[in-house]
Amino acid sequence: MGVSPRKFLLALAGSALDSILSLIWLLICVVVIAVLAYLFTKYAAGRGIGVLGLSGGSGQFKVLARLPLGRDQSVALVQAGERYLLLGATPSGVSLVAELTREEAQALCAQPPDQPPPPSFAEALRTVLKQKKPR
């Protein structure tokens, strides 16, 4: 007993339709994830949230800048009221490296004039997509 050509073509068309619908669903999910990532970065930037929520702050206590030095080591510039502290952080603790004046802290946080500001998420995504080579 063989399968009629009509039933075979219908089964094949149904399988192809399922594959196309799966591909469309996958593309929709990827677009939604990219849009959500973009919206989150805009939200985080607006609230002053940096990597892992370390920058920003509230009131008179703010982390102005943070520089990772190694796996578990970093230096942070912290504003505590009118004082500016350069702190070293390691797994064993946090230590005061230096206390800075307002002018020194501003000089450390200022963007060098010859360095462009970091790109937005949308610009970075466009750059990566342009670099992708079609297969």
Q: Which residue has the tokens 């050509």?
A: 5
> Residue 105: exposed, middle, or buried by beta-carbon count in 10 A (0-12, 13-18, 19+)?
buried
Q: Residue 86 half-sphere exposure, CB side, CA atoms within 13 Å?
A: 13
Q: Is the pLDDT of residue 14 over 70?
A: yes
Q: Report yes or no on whether pTM surpasses 0.85.
A: no
Q: Give the start-end residues of each E strand in 3-110.
A: 56-58, 61-68, 74-80, 83-90, 93-100
Read off the pLDDT of residues 20-54 as tens digits, 9 standing for 90 and up: 888 999 999 999 999 999 888 887 766 555 444 44
